[in-house]
Amino acid sequence: MKKLEIDNLDFEKGDGLIPAIIQDANTNKVLMLGYMNKEALEQTLELNKVTFYSRSKERLWTKGETSENYLIPVNISQDCDNDTLLIKAEPKGPVCHTDADTCFFEDNVHDDFLLELEQVILDRKENPRENSYTCELFKEGLNRIAQNVGEESTELVIEAIDKDNDRLKEETADMFYHLLVLLREQDIDLKDLMDVLRARHNS
């Protein structure tokens, strides 16, 4: 986590409190808004669990202290006026007390469907279930998964040469899916590929 300069924060402007915007570190969805005093921020860093100051209870409270739906901070940054925090975190369950994903009643999923699909594939790998094609692929192993990528690539090339755009879209979707399975089997994230592409673009 990036080092935070707590002494630079302006707690006095808000009578000892500053707002803390909580954003999912993976989906980028805004999860909730809370308030922190200096002690709450220090406890957040010490426990590695997001801790707020409750204005109604007038005490520190760690999000998830009763539900165990903790928020694990990944990065904390301050705004240009040093009076607001942006905390990117990994939620360990629903964030809202209503059991909604977020306090704004949004589903905590990626706006980018490829990233959402990547998370579904990860879930199938970590939580196998019956009658799942994805789980069956992971069970068959690397060789079969890689073979599928090769087969789908060949079919994609054939449809491109035949100039059948409808079939080309279908085969491209199939290849994307099987490629995501292969990457997950090798513990490679789409983010890792984006980093490679950005590095090439900037070189």
Residue 81 belongs to a domain with what CATH number?
A: 3.10.20.810
Cα-based distances in Å from 104 to 77, 100, 107, 148: 22, 8, 9, 41
Query: Is pLDDT at 3 greater than 80 in this prediction?
Result: no
Q: Which residues touch 59 (CB under 8 Å, ≥6 apart)?
A: 53
Rounded average pLDDT over 170-181: 96
- 81 with 24, same domain: the answer is yes
More reliable by pLDDT, 19 or 28: 19
- 147 with 187, same domain: the answer is yes
**pTM of model > 0.85:** no
- 11 with 87, same domain: the answer is yes
- 150 with 81, same domain: the answer is no
**Amino acid occupying residue 116:** E
Domain ranges, residue 158: 113-202
- 128 with 85, same domain: the answer is no
- 133 with 66, same domain: the answer is no
CA pair distance 41, 59, nearest whole angstrom? 13
Give the position of tokens 């629903």.
94
